[in-house]
Amino acid sequence: MGGGGGGAAAGVELSANLGEFRLEKVLSKDEAGKKVYLLGEVGGARAVLKLERAGWSDAAISGLLVPSTAVDKSFSNDVYSKYSAERGGVVADLTCPATDKHVSKATHHPMVLVEETAEGYAAVTRPFIEAIPPSRLQWVYNILEKKAEAERLIYEDADAEVGFVLMPDLKWDGADSNACYCLAIVHRHDVRSLRDLTAAHLPMLRGVLEKGRQAVEVKYGIPADKLRVFVHYQPSYYHFHVHFVHVEAHAGGQAIGKAHLLSDVITNLELCPGYYQRATLAYTLSEGDPLYNAWEAHRSAGGAEQQAALPRKD
């Protein structure tokens, strides 16, 4: 076993049950790995105990999906709803009816790195975005129009040009401030992604960054230097939104090839007003993503912009 500390003291073991561990305090939690580290005593000796949840077995899944597992609904918005189960501390997120995009997002696929030039965006990605039915964003419009989840909003700037709403993301249950994850959604509908941003959007971006940070600190007591504020490219939906995540959080989507710090985005636009219309942007895609399929179709048709974008398959 790895670890530090010298000495030849004999080890102390649990003889029968976890009740022999006398808890002093929680040292840390690893939400991603479902682990918790505890400080306490066993048999009068100081001890550190790591508890880790087992993975999901088929039997465990089947055991939950029975009529006796009652659920309480937390919220619903369009095709999305969230529940807490009365057994096992399980939180359930339901998407129904689910599109192919929903199914692909939840399925494991091999990943590839795409290097998208401005020409590649114009030839493949922009037409892909424009072909997405507006109904896919109905849940976003419900939030902005306060037809759903209005009680979850923690801040709003109602200005139609630079305003936004801020709310806790569904990834966060609100229990642990170090796992804080909030989401800002802008009011204007004409900014779909990073590619649409120009210097004209700087007042909106600065407002989201500054007012969003202030709102999180007022609501949760988390200062600006404890937050990562970033946007995704590619985003999971094409209405501009910004992620506010505690620096200690083990949330996904913060890696290179996905996340762009909002402060960097602002600086890039200050230096070059058309930066995101000209830049080559690299991002990861799963091979099951519909956008990946669009790139593959473009390459099969002989699209010159695609030759350097995706790894060639022999």
The enclosing domain of 239 has a CATH number of 3.30.428.10
pLDDT at residue 23 greater than cutoff 90:
no
Per-residue pLDDT tens for 257-287? Answer: 999 999 999 999 999 999 999 999 999 998 9
pLDDT of residue 7: 47
With b for 16 or more beta-carbon neighbours within 10 A and e for fewer, the 148-179 pattern comes to: bbeebeebbbeeeebbbbbbbebbbeeeeeeb
DSSP state of 121: I
275 domain residue, yes or no: yes
Identified catalytic residue from 187, 201, 241, 246:
241
* Domain identity same for 276 and 164: yes
pLDDT interval class at 303 (50, 70, 90): low
61 domain residue, yes or no: no
* Domain identity same for 137 and 211: yes
Per-residue pLDDT tens for 92-121? Answer: 888 887 887 788 778 878 999 999 999 999
- How large is the average pLDDT for residues 308-314? 50
* Domain identity same for 117 and 36: no
* Domain identity same for 159 and 289: yes
DSSP string, 39-77: EEEETTEEEEEEEEPPP--HHHHHHHSSTT--EEEEEEE
pLDDT of residue 5: 47
**Which residue ranges are tagged as binding site?**
139, 149, 169, 171, 232-243
Least confident span in 65-79, 153-167, 198-212, 216-230: 65-79
Global pTM reads 0.78
**Which residue ranges are tagged as binding site for substrate?**
139, 149, 169, 171, 232-243
Question: Measured between alpha carbons, how far is 94 from 80 in angstroms, rounded to an integer?
Answer: 6
Type of residue at 98: A
Residue pair 309/116 in contact by the 8 Å Cβ criterion: yes
* Domain identity same for 26 and 166: no
Residue 22 is part of which domain span? Answer: 18-52
64 domain residue, yes or no: no
111 domain residue, yes or no: yes
pLDDT of residue 223: 98
283 domain residue, yes or no: yes
Give the total number of structural domains in the chain: 2
In total, the chain counts a number of residues equal to 314
For tokens 């989401």, what's the residue? Answer: 183
pLDDT of residue 253: 84
Cis before 234? omega within 30: yes
- Is 241 noted as a catalytic residue in this protein? yes
Type of residue at 308: A
pLDDT of residue 94: 84
- How large is the average pLDDT for residues 40-67? 79
12 domain residue, yes or no: no
Per-residue pLDDT tens for 129-176? Answer: 999 999 999 999 999 999 999 999 999 999 999 999 999 998 888 888
